[in-house]
Each structure stands twice: as C-alpha cells, then as structure tokens.
Structure 1
Amino acid sequence: MKLERSTTLSLNYLDEGAGETTVLLMNGASLPLTFWGSFASSLAEQYRVVRFDARNAGDTEFSGGFTLGDIAADAAALLEHLGVERAVVVGHAWGGRVAQVFARDFPHRVQGLVICGTGGQFPAIDTTSLREEMVAARKAGDRATWASKMEAIYCAAGFRQRDPAAFESVADVIWNAVPNRAARWDMRAYPSEGYWGLATVPSLLLYGREDKFGTPQNAEALQGRLADTRLVMLDEAGHFIVREQESRVLAELGAFIDGL
C-alpha cells in the first residue's frame, strides 16, 4: 500500500491485524519493512501492526535529503491516514533513533516506546575488515561468504546454527534489498543530544549482549536517562535481536503492552 505524502514522496506501508492496540514498527537504516518477517506476523495475531519503508528503503519512492525528523513526521502522517490515535512504537537499530524523535515530536501519538538494539551514543565495536570482506563478497556475487560475514558482524555467535530458518529469512531480505541511493540521510541534523533519552512515556529497552552497534554501554546509558523504563539484556542476541530472539522479544513486548 502507498501513502502519497507529496509529489516527490510515495510512502510504502503495510497495515495488518485488528487488535485494540496498534504497534508501529520502525526499521533499521535502509532495511525494508520485510525485515520484520515472522516477528510482525506473530504480532499481528494479537495487535494491529503498522510498518513502513523509510525514505531510503524498500518500495518507498523518494529522492533528496532527509532527516530523522522527516521519517518521524512520515510515521505521524501514516497514523493519521489510518485513523490511529496512539500506538506502541517499536524502533529497531536506527529505527530506535527515529522512534525517540517521534516520541519527542508527537508524544500524544505514543502509548509506549520500545527501543531494540539502538546505538549511536557510544562507538560501535570495530568491524571494518569484516565489512570490507562482506562488501567484496556481495560485489562478487558470493552469497555464502557474504552470509558468513554478515552473521559475524550483525548477529550473535552461532545464530545460523541455532535457528537456520530465521537466519536464512534475514539473509534473504538483506541480500535482496536495494537501498534507495537517491535518498540521502543528513546525519548532521538531529544530533543525539536532542532526543537521546528524553522520552517521557513508559519505555522498554531490549538489547543483545553481543550487539556490536547497539552495545550494552548504549543500553545502560539510555536506561540512566529515561524516567520510566525497564532494560532487558538478552543472551545469544546481536544487532538483529528482534529476529535472533524473536520469541523472547515478543514475550517481553506483550508483557510491556499488557502493563500500559
């Protein structure tokens, strides 16, 4: 489905489920809405689930520069379009930055805030050489090597062995994703001090102990700034925590929603 925001922006989205509570999912940087996969499908069995492609991802059509605030405004416009007054906002990775900006700019739209593996406040663990090898494998069309490097960078050790189906689902989405190179995120706009840990709504922080980007240091710092929050650190989870520990994340999210 598409929401025509302007003559230059056609926002791609999915609206699934029919529960009383609406869950708004915000994707990681340049990841398409299909990244959520079975996680979103499971949520939709109990809640209304809305997800969308940001301006630089998936099937959203846009060219030009954009900020975190622009994506937050897109999300607000989408909820308005769908007749949703408030939602539980779940941001994964880069989407957690957008979710915090959304909670700051549109607090009346936020029933609760869930941040999963969001970094940016403290340096990531250096994966430069692995990322160079992953990019080289991608250019060579060597999916096996690419997948191995992708797991080493973004996932907890042994994810592919523990849950081959989930790993292949994630790998397929990322391998086939085509980022919109015509859309450029302005990283200088909306520095983290303008939104990091400023949300006043009830919040839940879900982080993986083996996350190289949303490191435990980021999680603890965010917990220290939020007034009404709970931090859950999950074992055997990296940056793709929502797919690596899907059942546990769903359980924690469900308990959080029940308590709102």
Structure 2
Amino acid sequence: MPQFAVDGAELTYDDEGPRDAEDVPLVFIHGWTANRHRWDHQMAHFRADRRVIRLDLRGHGESSGTGVRTIEELTRDVTALVDHLGVDRFVPIGHSMGGMIAQTIALAHPERVARMVLVNSIGRTTYSRGRGLLMAASTRLPYRLFVAAQIQRAFAPGHPRREVKEYIRASAATPREVVMPLYSAMRAFDVLDRVGEIRVPTLMVHGYHDIQLPVRQMLRMAKGYPDAVIRVLDAGHELPVEKPAELTATLDRFLGGPAAGARP
C-alpha cells in the first residue's frame, strides 16, 4: 500500500500491471465520499495487460489531509501523483466528482490526456429552484443523516440494502471538513461552456436511474464534446459497484485495440 506525500497529505494509491505495456496507463479517480476500492472490478480486469493506477483522494479512504475546498485542489493531487510515478500521458477515468477532476485535467493539461472516461459525471450541475432549496436544507441535517440521505438515493431501487448500509458507513467515515466543502464545490462546478476544447475521444457512461446527476444533464454536456461516445446502463449513480461487469465491458470496448491512446 504505497503512499505519496503532497501538500501536507499522504495519498494512498495502487500502481499495478506491466510497466512496459504499449497502451498508456489508466488512472481511476473515485467520487465524493468514496475511495479507490470503487474500482476493484475494473482494476482486476485491466491490470493483466496494462498499467493501472488508482488513489484515495485527499481526506478519503486511507489518504490523510483535510482543508481541501475545490475540485482544482484535488486535480493538483492527481497530477502530482502521476508525475511522481513518471507517467506522461494517461487515460483519466473518473466517477461523479472524479469525472469533474478528469475534465479539469483535460482542460488544464490536454497534451497529457490520451482518452477520457466519465462515469455518472457532468459538466455543470443544474437544479430546479425546489431541488436547490431541498439540497441546501439537507446540509443542516446531522452529519451522518446527511451522508446517509445522499448515499441512499445514489443507488437504483432494488439494490441490496446490506450493501447500501455498508457504503453509507464507509462514506460517513470521511471527515465532515472534507465532505461539506466538496459538496459545495461540486454544486459550483461548471465547465459546460468549455467542453468543446476537450478534443480527445471521450466515453460517457451513465446510469439511467441516476437522480443525483440525471442522465439528461450528461446528454446536455455530450452535445458540446467533439468526440463523444455515450452509453446508458440500467443502474443508478453508483455504476462501478451497481453494474461492475457491465461497466468493465463498456470500458474494454472503448479502450480496446492495439496501443489505444498511443501517440500517432
């Protein structure tokens, strides 16, 4: 379980697979209150043939650090880690907030992104007035109840309650001083008017039943991308754990082929 020190935090990460693989490495970025194990199924599949990297974001999982308030700060952590590992170009694969980080990387460092995958992610969060008031009110709940409400509704109806409870427990272990500022940062995130600048092939995978970041918001974003592939699966917001095999197969088709993402 290696760790990397950056700006007062110790980031826990995994770096697996062959270093001499032709394909550029995959960098998996988890979402808000989650951890790197959201990607267990995908890591197990891809590490046989290519280099795969994942991390616990600052203040999440087994990484230390608090005081983070913006998506840009998390983006700097991810780029610092790949620099530390000697990775030049890579494929960022981000879930939810991780997809916001991936897009921020692609806009700030386009030369480093070979392809990109956005899982249940969007370029701008838009709410009705009623929904916005409800979300603002939810922040006044006791912390555990606030987290439980967010995670419960992230799963499609019918997902095993035992698993949902376990994800609530793990998410509530993420420090409040990390969770609440990043909740605000996600609500304020907006790159919708710039997504046309992201010219690499991009896969957007979304859950049909996602009520956290509805599929219509992803489709609105996709219209601005010059080279986007869209897949909608029968799941909610937590695709990596609701439909792990289907997501992995979708990634495999998009990333497949000899030396996918290599420089021409």
The bucket for the TM-score relative to the shorter chain is: 0.7 to 0.9
Rounded to whole Å, the distance in 2 between the matches of 1:197 and 1:42 is 31
Gaps of 5+ in 1: 140-145
| Cross-structure match for 1:18 | 18
Q: Where do 1:13-52 residues align within 5 Å?
A: 13-18=13-18, 20=21, 21=23, 22-52=25-55
Corresponding residue to 2:83 among 80, 84, 94: 80
Verify: 1:238 aligned to 2:236, yes or no.
Answer: yes
| Cross-structure match for 2:246 | 248
Kept in 2: contact 1:39–1:243 (CA 8 A):
no
Kept in 2: contact 1:89–1:113 (CA 8 A):
yes
Rounded to whole Å, the distance in 2 between the matches of 1:138 and 1:77 is 32
| Cross-structure match for 1:176 | 170
Structure 1 or 2: more strand by fraction: 1
Rounded to whole Å, the distance in 1 between the matches of 2:131 and 2:245 is 29
Residue identity opposite 1:2 in structure 2: Q
Corresponding residue to 1:98 among 98, 101, 116: 101
Corresponding residue to 1:107 among 81, 105, 110: 110
Kept in 2: contact 1:100–1:195 (CA 8 A):
no
Residue identity opposite 2:170 in structure 1: N
TM normalised by structure 2 equals 0.78
| Cross-structure match for 1:121 | 125
1:40 CA displacement:
2.4
| Cross-structure match for 1:2 | 3
Rounded to whole Å, the distance in 1 between the matches of 2:195 and 2:33 is 21
Residue identity opposite 1:5 in structure 2: V
Gaps of 5+ in 2: none
| Cross-structure match for 1:158 | 158
Moved more, 54-63 or 94-103: 54-63
Aligned residues: percent identity?
26
Rounded to whole Å, the distance in 2 between the matches of 1:248 and 1:74 is 29
Encode CA deviations 1:151-191: one digit per residue, 9 max, x unaligned.
5x11222232xxx9xx73x6535423421334443628764
TM normalised by structure 1 equals 0.79
Rounded to whole Å, the distance in 2 between the matches of 1:106 and 1:255 is 25
Kept in 2: contact 1:56–1:181 (CA 8 A):
no
1:123 CA displacement:
2.6
**Residue-pair matches, total:** 241
Residue identity opposite 1:255 in structure 2: R
Rounded to whole Å, the distance in 2 between the matches of 1:9 and 1:209 is 36
1:114 CA displacement:
0.4
Verify: 1:57 aligned to 2:77, yes or no.
Answer: no
3-state SS of paired residue (1:172): helix
> Are residues 195 and 66 of structure 1, via their aligned partners in 2, closer, same or farther at CA, if it must alter by over 3 Å?
farther
Q: CA RMSD in A?
A: 3.1
| Cross-structure match for 2:209 | 210
> Are residues 138 and 10 of structure 1, via their aligned partners in 2, closer, same or farther at CA, if it must alter by over 3 Å?
closer
